[in-house]
Amino acid sequence: MLRYLKKYWVYCLLAPLFMLGELTMDLLQPAMMATIVDEGVLGSDMQIIVYEGIRMVLLVIFGGTCGVLCCVFANIAAQSFGNDVRKDMFSHIMDFSFEQTDFFTTGSLVTRITNDVTQVEQMVMMSVRSLVRCVVMFVGGIYMLYRQAPQFAFVAAWGLPFITAIVVFSLKKVSPLYTVIQQKLDRLNCIMQENIAGTRVVKAYVKEEYELEHFSDANHSLCDTNLHAQTILAFLNPSVNIILNLCVVGVLYVGGDMLRTDGSVTPGQIMAAITYLSLILMRIVFMANIFQTFTRASASWKRIREVLDTENAQQSGTRCPDEDRKGEIEFRQVSFAYADAPDRPVLNNLSFSVRRGETLAIIGSTGSGKTSLVQLIPRFYDVTAGAVLVDGQDVREYPLQVLRDKIGIVQQKAELFSRSIQENICWGCEQAEESDVRHAARIAQAEDFIRRMPKSYETPVTEGGHSLSGGQKQRISIARAVIKKPEILIFDDSGSALDLKTEARLYDALHQEFAGTTRIIVAQRIASVRQADRILVLDNGQICACGTHEELQESSAVYREICRSQLRKGAMA
């Protein structure tokens, strides 16, 4: 944490310094009042009232100015600290491998980067402001009380242990609840995100009531824990007040006795002593508040550190491949299982290679491992055994950026950003000219529908691309990949929402414009794959056949079955 605060040490120092100015006012004011009462009011000396009054007003102006400056500097330090931590966390999260993002869950990451950082921000603010204030007021208050009369300080010494015991007891009960509260907040965010993102599904299945109940359960649970914590804390103030009032009575008794017997204290001093006494004892309650914020923040900081300390499991390599080999792919006895089910391999001992400029189609039933297979090429996941080679070099040896720059992948679920269509396409290649965008859109068969849009390429895409049809989203994703002019193009079921005619036109355009580019086309329909140089039939994570459409019709029973089922469907339609 100090690493982040070091940059703002000037503000961290200035804030408490100005706080001392504000404190001087708070500590001197009751003593001045005592003088005004004793010598001015009771002694009927009007000059002292005017003189001390002006001094008091000047002191208040000075203290107020110091207070404002302290607040400004403390805020600069805390906000800048939060800003830096959030930026670092975001950059870390962007570096996470897919597995690491899956592990933390999106909901939890959002809570950590927002709510948890705010908690720690508050702690920084309190450290440079309230903590100093509390400690100085406490010590200064005791000194000033002692100066009024040492006997008053002894009365305070009786009250202190009781109040401390109450505060410690309450905090001990409350502290563990804060970790629970953060976890419950995570859960609530997770449900909220899933439901807001999936609101169309919720409505389609008329599950609003069901989901509301689900949300209410999590919300109630969070509310209960919060209430539990607050109820414990609610006892704090009244208990402290009882002790405080007992002490006030003590001061009045002792002070009254002294005034009567030897007149060693004045009524003004007794009044000031009562003010100092509540100043001291209430500081303990404030310290409890600070401690509460610290406990909360330390639970939050632990969660922030978990993110910041998680190094990307995928270490980027350093070797760059031979310049003369472009677009070759080889799978060497590759097996792969997801981290959450390590003993259930999704791909089993796969070996095959793709030549430069070749089109390899991958077909297979749903869940057979097609997406998992293509995601190993840009290293979205690492193999569990064997190796994936691009241009003769293991993908793990590549600098990640070099590897991913070579590849244009269109994922099965088209993800667009809430920017214009033009920006969404350019996203694949920042330095692209307008003519490149048009060209990419033409290849992706997207030009016609984009031109018909109200603002053409400038039409904004709403969040999640909900303003576009499935096929339109797919085509913009395709344009985003082809604008990169990659050496390897991967289409993961990217033509599934296109009609057969458009899909055929897309593959024709790709064939003409990307003849030298290696293409991997994952598809469910025979019509999408029959033109490919080779077709790989995947079944339950294993290659069960590989060859051209004609060869496979001869040799592969699985392929023949897929053909037959689609013919039957075609005939029925």
User: Which residues lie near ligand DCP (CB under 6 A)?
Assistant: 338, 341, 346, 364, 366-372, 412, 493
Contacts of 484 (CB under 8 A, 6+ apart): 405, 408, 428, 429
- Rounded to the nearest whole angstrom, what is the least distance from the CB of residue 335 to Mg ion in the complex? 18
CB of 414 to ligand DCP, least distance (A): 14
Q: What residue 369 binds from Mg ion, ligand DCP, none (CB within 5 to 8 A, per partner kind)?
A: ligand DCP
Shortest Cβ distance from residue 388 to Mg ion (Å)?
A: 17
Least Å from the CB of residue 394 to ligand DCP? 22
End-to-end CA distance of the chain: 65
> Could you tell me which of 344, 361, 401 has the C-alpha nearest to residue 378?
401
SS3 496: coil
**Stretch touching Mg ion by CB under 5 A, among 26-34, 201-209, 370-378, 540-548:** 370-378
111 versus 375: smaller Cβ distance to Mg ion = 375
CB of 211 vs Mg ion, minimal distance in Å: 27
Interface pick for Mg ion out of 29, 371, 548, 553 (rule CB under 5 A): 371
DSSP state of 542: E
Q: What is the dihedral of CA 390, 395, 400, 404, to 10 degrees?
A: 30
Q: Is 496 in the site for Mg ion (CB under 5 A)?
A: no
Spatial CB neighbours of 434, under 8 Å, sequence gap ≥ 6: 422
Binding span for Mg ion by CB under 5 A among 152-160, 175-183, 363-371, 527-535: 363-371
Shortest reach from residue 363's CB to ligand DCP, in Å: 9
The listed partner (ligand DCP, Mg ion, none) that binds 53, CB under 5 to 8 Å by sort, is none
Token output for 366: 């749903």
- Which is nearer to Mg ion, 102 or 213 (by Cβ)? 102
List the structure tokens of 257.
């006795």
Is the CB of 316 or the CB of 371 nearer to Mg ion?
371
Stretch that binds Mg ion, among 21-29, 91-99, 308-316, 365-373 (CB under 5 A): 365-373
- Of Mg ion, ligand DCP, none, which one does residue 366 interact with (CB within 5 to 8 Å by kind)? ligand DCP
For the segment 497-526, give every residue that binds Mg ion (CB under 5 A): none
Residue 2 CA, distance from chain mean position: 21
Cβ closest to Mg ion, residue 108 vs residue 494: 494
> 111 or 494: whose CB is closer to Mg ion?
494
Phi, psi dihedral angles at 42 (to 5 degrees): -75, -35
b (16+ CB within 10 A) / e for 251-277: beebbeebeeeeeebbebbbbbbbbbb
Closer residue to ligand DCP in complex, CB, 248/558: 558
Phi, psi of 420 (to 5 degrees): -75, 165
Bridge-based pairing state of the strands 542-547 and 518-522: unpaired
Residues 6+ apart with CB under 8 A from 466: none
Q: Footprint of Mg ion on residues 390-449 (CB under 5 A)? A: 412
| 169 contact, one of Mg ion, ligand DCP, none, CB 5-8 Å limit per kind | none
Closest approach, Cβ 470 to Mg ion, in A, equals: 15
The item of ligand DCP, Mg ion, none sharing an interface with residue 236, based on CB under 5 to 8 Å by kind, is none
Which CB, 278 or 412, lies closer to ligand DCP? Answer: 412
- Closest separation between CB of residue 366 and ligand DCP, Å? 4
H or E, element range at 573: none
Q: Which is nearer to ligand DCP, 70 or 383 (CB)?
A: 383
List of residues 6+ apart from 423 with CB closer than 8 A: 417
- Radius of gyration of the chain measured on its C-alpha atoms: 36
Q: Which does 548 bind (CB under 5 to 8 A by kind): Mg ion, ligand DCP, none?
A: none
> In terms of residues, how long is the chain?
573
Q: Shortest Cβ distance from residue 496 to Mg ion (Å)?
A: 10
The Cα 511–Cα 508 span in angstroms is: 5
Nearer to ligand DCP, 115 or 365 (CB): 365
Nearer to ligand DCP, 261 or 366 (CB): 366
Q: Which residue has the tokens 């002792």?
A: 254
Q: Which stretch binds Mg ion (CB under 5 A): 156-164, 284-292, 368-376, 530-538?
A: 368-376
391 binds, among Mg ion, ligand DCP, none (CB under 5 to 8 A by kind): none
Distances from the Cα of 97 to the Cαs of 102, 194, 232, 283, 310, in angstroms?
A: 9, 21, 42, 48, 10
CB of 346 to ligand DCP, least distance (A): 4
Judged by beta carbon distances under 5 to 8 A according to partner kind, the member of ligand DCP, Mg ion, none in contact with residue 368 is ligand DCP
Q: What are phi and psi of 391, to 5 degrees?
A: 50, 40
3-state secondary structure of 392: coil
**In whole angstroms, how close is the CB of 541 to ligand DCP at the nearest point?**
7
Distance of alpha carbon 419 from alpha carbon 532, whole angstroms: 35
Nearest to 334 by CA among 289, 291, 293, 372: 372
What is the CA angle 33-38-43, rounded to 5?
130
Q: Which amino acid belongs to residue 245? A: N
- DSSP lists the bridge partners of residue 490 as 409, 520
Q: Which is nearer to ligand DCP, 29 or 371 (CB)?
A: 371
CB 370, min distance to ligand DCP, A: 4
- C-alpha distances (whole Å) from 277 to each of 23, 151, 174 are 16, 12, 27
| Selection from 6, 10, 12 nearest residue 84 by Cα | 6
Closer to ligand DCP by Cβ: residue 59 or 339: 339
Positions that interact with Mg ion (CB under 5 A):
370-371, 412
